Amino acid sequence: MVRFKNRYIAFEITFGDKSKKPVQLKVTTLHNAIQQKVQRLYGDFGVAAIKAGFTAKYCNIHTKIAIVKCRHGPHKFLINAIPIINDIAGRLVSVKILYVGATMKHCFLFIKKFQQQKLEQVWNTLKTETERENMKDALMTLTPAMKDCT
């Protein structure tokens, strides 16, 4: 039995510009941004190669972490293209790949760990108990899709 190998790429987006516009991060805009970058780097062939099974799976606005799925093989194009994305829907961004996994579950497990670490870093700087609770809520809340997998 031959199965299709997939790769899930988890990455973090940091917004570069200082403007305090509310951050709009949608699955479709992310999808388009990546596709444009691959088009610039690899041309028509690259876009055609990643087309099969390429979807932006998950997008968290609070933590600014997103996951995209693609087939094993063309995922190499994505790994090269994602770090040099500097523009998502007109906003200046810098993107850092956190993890490349073979299942959604492992990606989410990694993200959980990653968020835990982040929380520990800021824990001491916060004074009151309510501030700490708020921070914990902001960082550790998972979308329903994520909860199913973990």
Tell me whether strands 55-60 and 87-88 are parallel, antiparallel or unpaired: unpaired
Please tell me whether residue 34 binds another protein under the rule CB under 8 A.
Answer: no
Pick between residue 45 and residue 123 the one whose CB is nearest to another protein: 45
69, containing H or E segment: strand 65-71
Rounded to a whole number of angstroms, the distance between the first and last alpha carbons of the chain is 27
- How far apart CA 50 and CA 21 sit, in angstroms, is 32
Please tell me whether residue 102 binds another protein under the rule CB under 8 A.
Answer: no
Please tell me whether residue 49 binds another protein under the rule CB under 8 A.
Answer: yes
Q: How far is the CB of 47 from another protein (least distance, A)?
A: 6
Helix axes 104-123, 129-140, angle to 10 degrees: 160
Build a one-symbol-per-residue string for 51-70: x at contacts with another protein by CB under 8 A, - elsewhere: xx------------------
Which has the closest alpha carbon to 12: 149, 139, 148, 147?
139
**Residues in binding contact with another protein, number by CB under 8 A:** 10
In the set 4, 18, 120, 121, which binds another protein (CB under 8 A)? 4
Q: How far is the CB of 48 from another protein (least distance, A)?
A: 3
